[in-house]
């Protein structure tokens, strides 16, 4: 990848985070700023991310999503998951994936991982050391 291509992808990533944070109702999410954004090619390979610590999760989750949907996502589709058994890390990390289209065909995907403070479960924040099953940590979106 050339330096100009890398700069172009980085500029897209810099615009994604504020666009995702603008509609958030939770000041806690806005203050933490832990949303991770990523761009993938049409095969689902990670091209760029603004959070290297989440690169593995972005790759693993996108692979599971694209395996399930078979790259048949259309313009306007958004897949949402927080399933730790499908590449995610924990219930509180919500992942969004949407196709990027040009001239009516998918040319890549945009992703974001947003840590949420709570999605139900036995304990606030989903971290219950007494949990015997994943449902005790919160709602699992598969």
- 142 falls within a domain: no
Domain count, the chain: 1
The whole domain housing 77 covers: 3-137
If you average pLDDT over residues 17-38, what whole number do you get?
72
If you average pLDDT over residues 77-83, what whole number do you get?
93
Q: What is the CATH number of the domain that holds 25?
A: 3.30.450
- 89 falls within a domain: yes
Asked whether residue 86 carries a pLDDT value surpassing 70, the answer given is: yes
pLDDT attached to residue 29? 61
- 116 falls within a domain: yes
HEC-encoded secondary structure of the chain: CCHHHHHHHHHHHHHHHHHHHCCCCCHHHHHHCCCEEEEEECCCCEEEECCHHHHHHHHHHHHHHHHHHCCCCCCCCCEEECCHHHCCCCCCEEEEEEEEEECCEEEEEEEEEEECCCCCCCCHHHCCCCCCCHHHHCCCCC
Global pTM reads: 0.84
The model's confidence at residue 104, banded by pLDDT at 50, 70 and 90, is confident
């Amino acid at each position: 990848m050339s330096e100009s291509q890398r700069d172009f992808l980085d500029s897209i990533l810099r615009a994604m985070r504020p666009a995702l944070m603008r509609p958030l109702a939770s000041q806690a999410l806005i203050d933490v700023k832990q949303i991770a954004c990523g761009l993938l090619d049409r095969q689902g390979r990670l091209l760029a991310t603004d959070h290297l610590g989440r690169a593995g999760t972005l790759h693993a989750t996108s692979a599971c999503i694209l395996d399930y949907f078979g790259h048949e996502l259309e313009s306007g589709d958004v897949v949402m998951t927080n399933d730790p058994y499908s590449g995610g890390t924990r219930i509180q990390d919500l992942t969004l994936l949407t196709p990027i289209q040009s001239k009516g065909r998918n040319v890549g995907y945009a992703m974001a991982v947003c840590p949420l403070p709570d999605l139900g479960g036995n304990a606030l924040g989903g971290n219950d050391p007494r949990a015997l099953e994943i449902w005790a940590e919160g709602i699992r979106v598969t």
